[in-house]
């Protein structure tokens, strides 16, 4: 696997990005509700991420709600050339613990246009259906995204939290550039989906790439990290980068030190022996 390590990936065959990106959920408060702290702190983290070479920033309209998208624009607009902004729609928040899926075409259009305003964009590079609404035909949900793409408001379409069957159905309806599912060193339940992505050249953006913090205490990670003189989190992120060339993790954080640690994992090259030890 070490021989296959690649620094970059081309989203949808169109947009080159560094595989290690930045996610914005941790710039919001507990439950992804409200702001995390001073807006200036989040702005600083976002600017530092891009200064360190991040070219893929992943956000969503319901992080806050709206807070994360507004912070991205405040920190990074006007956007530097080559920076890819990805966002999501299809989920409505009414509290810090309430998530409501809404895939009605009129609501998806409204959400997309709201994201365009908040992000100060004329076209969103990657717009992801945050959840497939079981109460709305998939053809209608993807159909409105295709309409928005034809209108020049979306460039690429992605999906979040899908099964291989759902991805297959979606691919029969439109071009899919990316998926987001939970996947990390100790949760490989989406392995079949990863295989499909590899076969079709689809980016896989794993959420909770650090196991929501649990991998920092994983015995195998900590052992390899101790021998390397790096952190367990860096080992876990490096494992993802070695695991498959289509995996594009976007770990998020609200602190500068943790940001630097995450981004430094991109230069950790694991040996075959270390990969075997990690399982």
Active-site positions?
Answer: 63
Which residue, 256, 216, 255, 254, is CA-closest to 235? 216
Q: Are 179 and 167 in contact (CB under 8 A)?
A: yes
Output the CA–CA distances (angstroms, integers) from residue 256 to 80, 110, 210, in the order listed. 21, 34, 17
Residue 143 CB coordination number (10 Å): 15
Output the CA–CA distances (angstroms, integers) from residue 51 to 45, 73, 80, 199, 263, in the order listed. 10, 15, 10, 33, 11
**Phi/psi at 242 (5° precision):** -80, -30
**Phi/psi at 49 (5° precision):** -60, -45
Helices (H), the chain: 39-51, 67-76, 105-119, 138-150, 164-173, 191-200, 219-228, 232-243, 256-264, 272-278
Which residue, 50, 78, 81, 69, is CA-closest to 117? 69
């Amino acid at each position: 696997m070490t021989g296959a390590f690649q620094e970059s990936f081309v989203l949808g065959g169109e947009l080159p990005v560094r595989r290690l990106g930045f996610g914005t959920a941790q710039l919001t408060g507990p439950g992804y509700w409200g702001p995390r702290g001073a807006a200036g702190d989040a702005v600083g983290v976002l600017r530092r991420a891009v200064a360190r070479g991040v070219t893929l920033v992943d956000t969503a309209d319901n992080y806050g709600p709206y807070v994360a998208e507004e912070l991205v624009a405040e920190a990074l607009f006007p956007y530097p050339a080559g920076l890819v902004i990805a966002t999501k729609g299809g989920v409505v928040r009414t509290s810090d613990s309430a998530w409501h899926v809404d895939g009605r075409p009129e609501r998806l259009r409204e959400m997309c246009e709201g994201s365009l305003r908040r992000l100060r964009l004329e076209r969103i590079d990657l717009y992801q259906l945050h959840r497939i609404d079981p109460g709305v035909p998939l053809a209608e949900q993807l159909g409105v995204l295709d309409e928005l793409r034809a209108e020049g408001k979306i460039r690429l379409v992605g999906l979040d939290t899908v099964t291989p069957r759902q991805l297959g159905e979606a691919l029969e309806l439109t071009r899919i550039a990316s998926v987001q599912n939970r996947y990390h060193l100790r949760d490989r339940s989406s392995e079949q989906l990863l295989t499909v992505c590899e076969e079709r050249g689809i980016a896989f953006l794993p959420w909770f790439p650090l196991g929501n913090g649990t991998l920092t205490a994983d015995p195998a990670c900590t052992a390899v990290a101790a021998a390397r003189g790096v952190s367990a989190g860096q080992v876990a992120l490096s494992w993802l980068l070695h695991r498959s060339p289509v995996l594009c993790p976007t770990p998020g954080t609200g602190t500068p030190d943790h940001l630097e640690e995450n981004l430094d994992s991109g230069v950790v090259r694991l040996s075959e022996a270390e990969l075997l030890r990690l399982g």
